[in-house]
Structure 1
Amino acid sequence: MTDLLNIILLGIIEGITEFLPISSTGHLLIAEHWLGARSDLFNVGIQAGAILAITLVYWRRIWQLLTQWSDPATRDYLAKLTVAFLITCVLGLIVTHYGFKLPETVTPIAWALIIGGFWMIGAEALAARQPDRREVTWTVAILVGIAQMVAGIFPGTSRSGATIFAAMLFGTSNRAAATEFAFLVGIPTMYAATGYELLKVWKNGGAAHEDWTALGVGFLVSLVVGFIAVKWLLGYIRTHRFTAFAVYRIVLGAALLLLMPAGV
């Protein structure tokens, strides 16, 4: 029963944090210090649940982009999504080639949470001074692609936070428009990353010893919670800034730095 509760809790953490600008990777690495490490395939599986959730949230927009090729604006938007995705893929392959690994200690994650929190507050203030713009420029597309990779290298940064604010600061100042582009770029990126990790685990023989029941439960929990979290966030940002998330990051990061030396 304890193990089942841990699985459900990890699925909830992934579902909530994957698209909120508070870092899912950072939260999962922190959670595993208390709940125990899970297999690579399990982590990939619960991430897949969150990806499916965001796909379901945006299915109408995705269908529109895939079926309205005759519209020049649609083709332009798709081209920018593609460029952002390809930049992330190329940078990801470079990082993988040089053998980059995620940190196994909490301290760098805590610092990333704090620094990212203060950065978000400053970025939000700068974006608020710009005129409301919904257009996604080529500069935004390129920087969103780079921001995705930066977030992948530094757990605690937050992929959604990095990409949303990259868009807001460099041309797409409207929060809703910036968030939509960041999330739509994230869908193929995360599918590709998840597929790559799944193939790697499968080739290494990890699937043969996997607890498939645990993976299935984690996947479903992440899917349901992720869907709710994204729907809530899209409504929240219509009338609120991201400041509350920034404050949460700073408080959590500071608490981790204070508690870790004490052995808590």
Structure 2
Amino acid sequence: MDPNSLLAALLLGIIEGVTEFLPISSTGHLLLAGRWLGARSDLFNVAIQAGAILAVVLVYRQRLWQLLAGFRERGNRDYAFKLAVAFGVTAVLGLAVKAAGWQLDDAVAPIAWALVLGGAWMLAAEHFAARRASILGERADITWLVAVLVGVAQVVAGVFPGTSRSAATIFVALLFGITNRAAATEFAFLVGIPTMFAATGYEVVELYAEGGLAGEDWNALAVAFVASAVTAFVSVKWLLRYIQSNRFTAFAIYRFGLGAALLAFA
């Protein structure tokens, strides 16, 4: 057992857990961290993502049970169908993108620009959501248009490393109808559960078919999985409290700073 390998796995698990659901791009951070901590197997990347999914399921376990147990109620049924539509749009477009083989490489410059442009997108979305709220009042209802666009946003985030799935989905919701940050965040995170479970399962099946499960460092993988789950749970709980009284401006500034530093490095 290599202590250095375990330490690197721990750090990568923490990075995944912290960045997966904060609007700062887990993919971008992991690609960059991998340059210093060493590249990891596809199974390793799947495992730490699974840890983050488990965390958000635990955070939203009461809401998920409410939707399941109260499915006969119109409000819960309508919300569940909108989650299904968003997931369906992601699944169809995601498979089409994968079949077309369209994917950007992991070069630093595109990730940096995605971080910067994503920060600008966040500021614009919050600005227009605030203006709309001042005129029309608080809006927390998910529309069918928002559900469809959230599905599209997930695919865009998957194609462009550095975009951030959570940022793309939260802020497309804020731009196209919702003015309540908590409502936009909840829908984005809930639709991320089936999306990430499906993507993880798809990748595991592909790896198994290709013999990619052999020769794995299972100790390092277990350490990374647990680290990702614990830190994602803490991060999501913190974010949900933070947005009750704060805007996402700090995350946009962070993205600008990191993007500028990466462009200078590149």
TM-score normalised by structure 2 residue count: 0.96
1:235 match? 241
Question: After TM superposition, where is structure 1 displaced by more than 4 Å over at least 4 residues in a row?
Answer: none
Equivalenced residue count is 260
Supply the distance in 1 between the matched residues of 2:117 and 2:177 (Cα, whole angstroms).
Answer: 23
Shift of the alpha carbon at 1:122?
1.6
2:197 match? 191
Query: What secondary structure sits across from 1:10 in the alignment?
Result: helix
Shift of the alpha carbon at 1:102?
4.4
1:48 match? 50
Query: 2:156 is aligned with what amino acid?
Result: V
Query: What secondary structure sits across from 1:206 in the alignment?
Result: coil
Structure 2 unmatched ranges of 5 or more: none
Supply the distance in 2 between the matched residues of 1:204 and 1:40 (Cα, whole angstroms).
Answer: 11
Residue 136, structure 1, aligned to residue 142, structure 2? yes
TM-score normalised by structure 1 residue count: 0.97
- 1:174 pairs, out of 175, 180, 187, with 180
Supply the distance in 1 between the matched residues of 2:101 and 2:142 (Cα, whole angstroms).
Answer: 33
Query: What secondary structure sits across from 1:129 in the alignment?
Result: helix
Supply the distance in 2 between the matched residues of 1:33 and 1:156 (Cα, whole angstroms).
Answer: 15
Supply the distance in 2 between the matched residues of 1:232 and 1:193 (Cα, whole angstroms).
Answer: 26
Structure 1 unmatched ranges of 5 or more: none
Query: 1:42 is aligned with what amino acid?
Result: F
Supply the distance in 1 between the matched residues of 2:174 and 2:35 (Cα, whole angstroms).
Answer: 34
Alpha-carbon displacement from aligned partner over 1:70-99 (angstroms, at most 9, x marks no partner) = 211111001100000000000000011012
2:264 match? 258
Supply the distance in 2 between the matched residues of 1:4 and 1:253 (Cα, whole angstroms).
Answer: 29
Shift of the alpha carbon at 1:46?
0.3
Asked whether the equivalents of residues 106 and 161 of structure 2 are also in contact (C-alpha less than 8 Å), the reply is no
2:166 match? 160
Shift of the alpha carbon at 1:203?
1.0
Percent of aligned pairs with the same residue?
Answer: 64
Shift of the alpha carbon at 1:137?
0.5
Query: What secondary structure sits across from 2:94 in the alignment?
Result: helix
Alpha-carbon displacement from aligned partner over 1:79-126 (angstroms, at most 9, x marks no partner) = 100000000000000011012334121111011001111121121111
Shift of the alpha carbon at 1:222?
0.1
Asked whether the equivalents of residues 112 and 263 of structure 2 are also in contact (C-alpha less than 8 Å), the reply is yes
Supply the distance in 1 between the matched residues of 2:189 and 2:209 (Cα, whole angstroms).
Answer: 30
Alignment of 1:92-131 (within 5 A): 92-131=94-133
Supply the distance in 2 between the matched residues of 1:256 and 1:21 (Cα, whole angstroms).
Answer: 18
Supply the distance in 2 between the matched residues of 1:235 and 1:10 (Cα, whole angstroms).
Answer: 25
Shift of the alpha carbon at 1:159?
0.4
